[in-house]
A = this chain, B = another copy of it.
């Protein structure tokens, strides 16, 4: 097909590899600067690649001469060269056999990359823009009195506080927790000559991250800053190991706030592309920004499957090429996702079990995807990841995907020499319930039996509970809240005389609730409080309640829609058959036969 402009990529690691995997089908051409056989080059072969280090200015210029735009998969690059390429240009042959300068745009902007290379400056800048950050102060440089400076920080922030290397602390390397004055010497030795800064200790509840797309027009004017959903990230040994979408037990408005802060951050940067904004959620509900990555990021891998129409990699390509579709909205196509990094273990084969598990766990409610980076295994090295996407809640997904987590934890325990974690028996492979059935008293159970049989017949996974609106109101509310969290799609509630149960449940959850009146009562209106709908079926007709629940499930799950169609066809056929029999036999004989 018609070839697209060439994207020059500094770095050919796993991020570059996944960028290439996304670019291939879309027809984007990528020229990679990295060693032969780097992960990205395994997935993208063409004659534009440059062999060498992405830190080598000459190689960067050679790459630029072959490219229409430059981008990075790692921020530790030479921004002087990038600035020169973008503003002065690189030498390329002209048509007269001479040499001419070609300016090659860099996205994200070299200014952004330069700012982000210095974590202290990065946060000073954001702080000035009104972004919430942890308090920080620069530590005197290695030639001056560092100890006095460390003492000053202690006076300012108390113990413990964090001592951080301002540059080059990729994946959290280069942090030192200062607990007392006795730590000063060790800290100075361990951190070496690098520029340092101190940061007030932030006791966070959870680490959050948001990917943000930033687009600019060709004149460099900011067009769009669009967030992906918030995720929860888990770090162990200063490396990201797991990502949960959505974050577990974080209120929606908190998530919206984190997205807003992430967008604010990115709006203050320069250039096009995707950016990861890593944040801390504090105990008091505050959200503060910890770090930015001006590129696709580990915390955004889940988008490959959860936002397949626009993964972070596709977004990166579209954004830097100024190809981002105008009206696009980020709508995840599944309600939950979980990413587990595969870090090389003690043995070269430590991770084989995890890779093997990824092949087997896919079921009706969860898809599991392996991403092998084509790297040799080394202890602690990121050599792949596994993403599970769930068709119900994150808590159910975590339950179903538990063997992946347990396996990753085992690899780590073995590597760091800890006792292997007691892996709880993997949860039974029974499907997560899709329908919850509840009643105020077991005396209502007979009324519900017919409906439960229908659910069995349609192979719908369900849960049955007794929760009385009057005798156990808290239990009932807790049940309702759990259902809303837990992946259940429809609730069926038997409604006794006062019909409070379905109405109350409906007020607690956002799910469709079907009330089955146990006996005649003006239930219609009683169960349907203002703004709190409750679907009601015939008196005692739990069959219809179950069938309605299945119709509702059919809007999400094609297999239930198909079963429902078959069920209805069967009912029709039965009537037609009877009709035929009646018309051929005559009503007298028909009635006779029925006796």
A254–chain B nearest beta-carbon distance, Å: 13
Known: A510-B568, A533-B547. A383 touches B1 (CB 8 A): yes
A565 near B335: Cβ-Cβ < 8 Å: no
Interface hits, A141-192 → B, CB 8 Å: none
> In the complex, what distance in Å separates the CA atom of A528 from the CA atom of B305?
41
Segment at the B interface, from A38-46, A204-212, A215-223: A38-46
A525 within 8 A of B: yes
Q: From residue A224, how far is it (CB to closest CB) to chain B in Å?
A: 15
CB neighbors of B among A517-571 (8 A): 517, 523-525, 527-528, 530-539, 541, 543-545, 547-548, 551-556, 558-559, 561-562, 564-568, 571
B-chain residues with CB within 8 Å of residue A318 when the two chains form the complex = 359
Among B24, B375, B536, the residue within 8 A (CB) of A43 is B24
Q: Which of A17, A525, A555 has the most CB of B within 10 A?
A: A555
Q: Which residues of B contact A507 (CB under 8 A)?
A: 568
Q: Contact at A544–B551, with CB atoms within 8 Å? A: no
Q: Does A26 contact B (CB under 8 A)?
A: yes
Residue A384 interfacial (CB < 8 Å):
yes
In-complex Cβ contact of A45 among B45, B309, B565 (8 A): B45
Question: A448 in the interface, Cβ–Cβ < 8 Å?
Answer: no
Q: How far is the CB of A239 from chain B (nearest CB, A)?
A: 17
**Residue from B310, B534, B564, B565 in contact with A362 in the complex, judged by beta carbons closer than 8 Å:** B310
A295 sits at the interface (CB 8 A): no
A528 near B537: Cβ-Cβ < 8 Å: yes
| A528 smallest CB distance to B (angstroms) | 3
Q: Which residue of B lies closest to A567 (CB)?
A: B531
B537 lies within 8 A of A537 (CB) = no
Task: Name the contact of A528 in the complex, choosing from B328, B490, B538 (C-beta under 8 A).
Answer: B538
Of residues 332 through 373 on chain A, the ones whose CB sits less than 8 Å from some CB of chain B are: 332-333, 335, 342, 348-349, 351-352, 355, 359-360, 362-364, 367-373
A583 near B: Cβ within 8 Å?
A: no
Q: Quick check: is A308 within 8 A (CB to CB) of the other chain? A: yes
- Please report the C-alpha to C-alpha distance between residue A333 and residue B558 in the assembled complex, in whole angstroms: 8
Q: Which residue of B lies closest to A536 (CB)?
A: B536
Q: Which residues of the other chain, B, contact A556 by a CB distance below 8 angstroms?
A: 555-556
Check if A309 sits within 8 Å of B367, measured CB to CB. yes
The dominant DSSP class at the A interface is mixed
Whether the Cβ atoms of B562 and A364 lie closer than 8 Å is: no
Residue contact B310 to A2, C-beta cutoff 8 Å: no
Contact with B along A317-333 (1 / 0, CB 8 A): 01000010111110111
So how many copies of this chain end up in the complex?
2
CB under 8 Å from chain B, chain A span 7-51: 17, 21, 24-27, 37, 41-46
| A524 pairs with B525, CB closer than 8 A | no
Instruction: Please determine whether A323 and B21 come into contact, CB atoms closer than 8 angstroms.
Output: no
Q: Within 8 Å CB of A489, what residues of B? A: 555
Is there contact, CB below 8 Å, between B536 and A364?
no
* Complex-state Cα separation, A117 to B30, whole angstroms: 39
Cα A27 to Cα B371 with chains together (Å): 8
CB within 8 Å for A24 and B21 given contacts A363-B327, A545-B533, A555-B552: yes
Of B329, B364, B374, B571, the residue contacting A364 (CB under 8 A) is B329
In the complex, which residue of chain B has the Cβ closest to the Cβ of A323? B359
Query: Per-residue CB proximity of A241-252 to B under 8 Å, as 1/0?
Result: 000000000001
Question: Complex formed: what's the CA distance from A326 to B356 in Å?
Answer: 13
A78 to B21, CA, bound (A): 32
Interface CB pairs A-B, < 8 A, 26 = A2-B377, A17-B24, A21-B24, A24-B42, A24-B43, A25-B370, A25-B372, A26-B372, A42-B45, A309-B368, A325-B359, A325-B360, A328-B362, A489-B555, A510-B561, A510-B564, A511-B551, A530-B543, A531-B567, A533-B541, A533-B543, A533-B548, A533-B551, A535-B535, A535-B536, A552-B552
New A-B contacts (5) at CB < 8 Å, excluding given A26-B370, A335-B558, A525-B541: A43-B45, A510-B568, A523-B524, A528-B541, A531-B543
Closest 10 CB pairs of A and B: A535-B535, A27-B372, A528-B538, A533-B544, A533-B548, A45-B45, A309-B367, A510-B564, A489-B555, A512-B551
